Amino acid sequence: MKIASVAEVKAHFSAYLKATAQGPVIVTRNGKAVAVVLAVTDEEELERLVMAHSPRLQAILEAARQRIQAGEGIPESQFWEEVETETKVKKNKRTNKRRIP
């Protein structure tokens, strides 16, 4: 892990991007951390990172946690049954669209 000022990163951005292969680069301004530069190794990792910092997704998850705590949730088995059913429906719709001349 490296630590560098905004000015250093700005002046040598390409080098700091390469350095992310060894670990995150912490970017500082006036001695305080303000950002982290991370290497992305695949699309799934990028998606997880973006989703983890999405205010909209975090709000949805928090609302779901509150509903579960209030006893308004559904059993896990029912959830996965619904997901599987929805996946099959979407797959069938895509398959049917391809068959239409």
The mean pLDDT values, 10 residues at a time, for the chain of 101 residues are: 96 97 97 96 92 94 93 89 89 67 57
pLDDT for res 100: 57
Question: Could you give phi then psi for residue 3, rounded to 5 degrees?
Answer: -125, 130
**CATH assignment of 1-39, given 3.90.245.10, 3.40.30.10, 3.40.1620.10, 3.20.20.450?**
3.40.1620.10
Whether residue 27 contacts residue 35, with contact meaning beta carbons closer than 8 Å, is answered with yes
Q: Give the domain ranges of the chain.
A: 1-39, 42-88
Start-to-end CA distance of the chain, whole Å, equals 56
| Residue 5 burial (10 A CB sphere; 0-12, 13-18, 19+) | middle
pLDDT for res 34: 98
Nearest alpha-carbon partner for 9 in 21, 23, 27, 24: 27
pLDDT for res 42: 93
Whether residue 2 contacts residue 19, with contact meaning beta carbons closer than 8 Å, is answered with yes
pTM: 0.58
